Structure 1
């Protein structure tokens, strides 16, 4: 039987081609992952709001698979309505799934920052300016200082998922990180897990990403203890 130790449920935007690919194979031995999708056309606030209307049904469907934890794997989609929306979303989805512990990426990144005692963030995000601005507002309202927002201006979710990790590495490495105590790479559709440790070694500071923080938060809520860290970087090494 698959999932003989535990089962993780992932709620994924329909255009996201990265989250389940990066998170699923990282699950500990005996932990299976199960995906429910929400329709999303592109990365605009209006479409994110429409997508959010499908989230409870997606959580309810995962609940029927007897999952042990659910992750809402969308950064902008869990912060676009401002401070508190991430935690409200977690509560509503947990209730829809019959009480299954639920994490949303925007809340997961905050828990990860706090676990490492981070306060000043240099952010790289693939979004258009409207979403980049909303993310800065959300992070600063949550108590973090965004020292730099390096936005890529990509509207298409498919285009975000097609970004090469080596290009993202160069983009992040060449950004302005002065005054920051960590780098954050936003968006669960942006492939990042294979470059985090390289960036940490080359930049000399912690590097976190949306998928990394979501995976870490899922592990905090699974009833298993992995034999070794399942994810990369300082976040998994030191917490």
Structure 2
């Protein structure tokens, strides 16, 4: 491990959390995962409940024995569903409870795009259209222009977690846009880390995925990015590392 550096992740239910041990092994850091539970439906009421202060506080309690240097709420939809101001309040509340810098996957996307100098993106969403459009609103508030958006209309995180690498690749390739400087794939329930090299090779541009930016955001908050080796297998985000993004 990188001097036993630890970033704690609060993850909803079970779907693609095995992406995190993959990243931890590549980066030489500790990424303990605390699971919180609720209905995994991609719908506004359920997502608001999933990202509630009480749920996140329980996640912090579960992570406490690991003494993380930063904490990330590893759920994109469970943060952007609150809107830009609500998501910021959520992250600030999580910081207070955790006692260390904290953020969410939604802010990870905004900060990662900024770090790469990306302003125009294509969004390849697994969510139903109604939920995916809330992510577009969040990105717009961060100054990121979405030139195209696709929705796979998958109702639950559990279903998303069953997508194969080939299906993930097909979704991305089919829904790229020539004006997009990067492709964003926003669901932490989707397995993406192992297929990142293929995604970027096929698209010829950076690909930002939920589990990738979750890890990056946590390492950024912990001040560890400058100490990491470049890892091409984790995409352009980890080979063009910058630290000037600011939640």
| TM-score (ref. length: structure 2) | 0.87
Q: Is the Cα–Cα contact under 8 Å of residues 11 and 33 in structure 2 kept in the other structure?
A: yes
Partner of 2:184: 184
The change in CA–CA distance for 1:179 and 1:37 in structure 2 (over 3 A counts) is: same
**Matches of 2:220 and 2:21, distance apart in 1:** 16
The change in CA–CA distance for 1:183 and 1:101 in structure 2 (over 3 A counts) is: same
**Matches of 1:191 and 1:3, distance apart in 2:** 24
Partner of 1:25: 22
Question: How far did 1:236 drift?
Answer: 0.7
| TM-score (ref. length: structure 1) | 0.90
**Matches of 1:238 and 1:3, distance apart in 2:** 19
Partner of 2:128: 128
* Structure 1: gaps (5+ residues): none
* Structure 2: gaps (5+ residues): 242-247
Partner of 1:38: 36
Indicate whether 1:195 and 2:209 are aligned.
no
**Matches of 1:182 and 1:114, distance apart in 2:** 11
Indicate whether 1:119 and 2:119 are aligned.
yes
Partner of 1:72: 73
Q: How many residues align?
A: 235
Q: Which structure: greater helix fraction?
A: 2
Partner of 1:171: 171
4+ residue segments displaced more than 4 Å: none
Report the aligned-residue RMSD.
Answer: 2.0
Structure 1, residues 203-239: CA drift from partner, whole Å, max 9, x if none? 2211111111111112223365234438611111111
Question: How far did 1:141 drift?
Answer: 2.3
